[in-house]
Structure 1
Amino acid sequence: MDRVFDGLSILEANPHADVISVRKNTHNDALSDEVDVVVYAEFKDKRALQAYKAHPLYQKSIDIVRPLRDLRVAADITF
């Protein structure tokens, strides 16, 4: 899990997110134990999200984490 966490933590240096945080799951919920690391990010608009995904740090993180992960869960919301 440490290599996954380190690989995802690279995303915190991506300048296109207004807010970004990578944290280890504390596993306090007895009914949900599948997720070890959470990436939370906020973007001012879709253009900022696209720029975030186009940034080289995003690809670097993918290159590190994808071969190590068993599960990926994503959720996108708009206000």
Structure 2
Amino acid sequence: MIRHIVFFTARSEDDRDTVLSGLSLLTRIPHASLLEIGINNKVDQLGNQVDFVVYGEFEDEAALAAYKAHPIYQESIDRVRPVREMRLAADYDVERAAKRPL
């Protein structure tokens, strides 16, 4: 399974609704096992720069690639990119993730 996590910050407070509605389009793409769009609660004592989080789970790399190739993905980019400040993304394979015993 691949976990896909992307952090976004809107350019201004006025752009937050546009970013959220653009990211929400992603939930209509059928290739994810799970896809959530979250609004950061901003309660971390060390940093609260992130406004939104996209969290997705995909069966494999092919499913993630199909998600990113879907036309709705590009529509989301077209809406969000002009009004976002920051975007940080990470994808990792759960089976290959470093695991430590508690």
**Higher normalized strand content (fraction of residues):** 2
How high is the sequence identity, in percent, across the aligned residues? 52
2: CA distance, partners of 1:34 / 1:18: 28
Match of 2:23 in 1: 8
Deviation at 1:30, TM superposition (A): 2.5
How many corresponding residue pairs?
Answer: 79
Deviation at 1:2, TM superposition (A): 1.1
2: CA distance, partners of 1:2 / 1:31: 25
Q: How does the TM-score come out when normalised to structure 2?
A: 0.75
Structure 1 runs of 4+ with >4 Å offset: none
For the residue of structure 1 that corresponds to 2:93, the secondary structure is: coil
Q: Structure 2 residue aligned with 1:73, among 72, 75, 88? A: 88
Match of 1:44 in 2: 59
Q: Structure 1 residue aligned with 2:33, among 18, 39, 48? A: 18
Q: How does the TM-score come out when normalised to structure 1?
A: 0.96
Q: Deviations over 1:31-72 (max 9, x none)?
A: 111110100000000000010000011000000000111100
Q: Which has the larger radius of gyration?
A: 2
Q: Structure 2 residue aligned with 1:28, among 43, 49, 71? A: 43
Match of 1:61 in 2: 76
